[in-house]
Structure 1
Amino acid sequence: MNTSVFLAQLMGPVMLVAAIGLLVNPEAQRDMARQFLDSPPLIYVTGFIVMTAGLAVVLNHNVWALDWRLIITLFGWMAVIGGAIRMLCFSAVKKIGYAMLDKPGAATIGGVVWLIIGAVLCYFGYFA
């Protein structure tokens, strides 16, 4: 199986479920985010996990073609950078996170974006 297709099959459904959770129950997601932001050890551990997953993607799929595969590469790099930031800058992550939570439409916008990207990845991973 092609690496791009495998990663699309892996990432697409996860993004769809996360998006649906954001759109269906935004207040519960906001409460969970607040609890997350109040725990520096949890921010660090998730940074470690996200950076490791991002490196796994980038090391196996660093494809800079102008097609759907670029989504996977960009998410891999964003995970590497985002994970490193979580590990190095707890207070900045907390400050940015609370600023995002203060924006009422942020969860909806994020949910719609993740829904679209998840659907695109599912399409190319399972149907194309």
Structure 2
Amino acid sequence: MERSLFLARLLGPTFVAVALGMLLNLGMYETIIAEGLHSGILFYLSGLLSLLAGLSIVNLHNRWQVDWRVVITVLGWLMTIGGTFRIVLPQVAIAVGSTIYGGRASIVVAALTTGALGAFLSFKGYVQRS
């Protein structure tokens, strides 16, 4: 199976599940985000996991073609940069995260964006044959 399809099939449903979880459990996600931004070890581990996942994607799929596959490459780079940022500059990353996740509206926007991205990748990975 082509790497792009494999990664779309892996990331798409994962993003959809995360988005649904966020939308169905807004109060819990507010707590999770608040605790994650104030617990050093959780913040560090999320950075480490994001860095590892991002580097895995970038090393397997660093394709800058002008088609849907570039979305996977961009996600890999964003995960790599975000993970590195959380490990190297945690105070700045916490300040940015606190600003971005300032309430329910921002969580809903993040969930809808994540869900749309997940639906797109799932469609490309499972439905469309190109």
| TM-score, normalised by the number of residues in structure 2 | 0.93
Which position in structure 1 is the counterpart of 2:7?
7
Which position in structure 1 is the counterpart of 2:124?
124
Taking the aligned partners of 2:101 and 2:56, their CA distance within structure 1 comes to 30
2:28 maps to amino acid: A
Taking the aligned partners of 1:2 and 1:98, their CA distance within structure 2 comes to 38
After TM superposition, the structure 1 stretch with the greater mean CA deviation from structure 2, 54-63 or 43-52, is 43-52
Asked if the contact 2:85/2:93 (under 8 Å) is kept, the reply is: yes
| 1:48-72 C-alpha deviation (Å, 9 max, x unpaired) | 1110110110011011112111110
Moved over 4 A (4+): none
Shift of 1:103: 4.2
Identity %, equivalent residues: 32
CA RMSD of aligned residues (A): 1.1
Asked if the contact 2:64/2:70 (under 8 Å) is kept, the reply is: yes
Asked if the contact 2:26/2:104 (under 8 Å) is kept, the reply is: no
| TM-score, normalised by the number of residues in structure 1 | 0.94
Which position in structure 2 is the counterpart of 1:43?
43
Taking the aligned partners of 1:76 and 1:8, their CA distance within structure 2 comes to 12
**How many residues end up aligned between the 2 structures?**
128
| 1:25-78 C-alpha deviation (Å, 9 max, x unpaired) | 212101001111111122112211110110110011011112111110010000
Which position in structure 1 is the counterpart of 2:108?
108
Taking the aligned partners of 1:81 and 1:123, their CA distance within structure 2 comes to 26
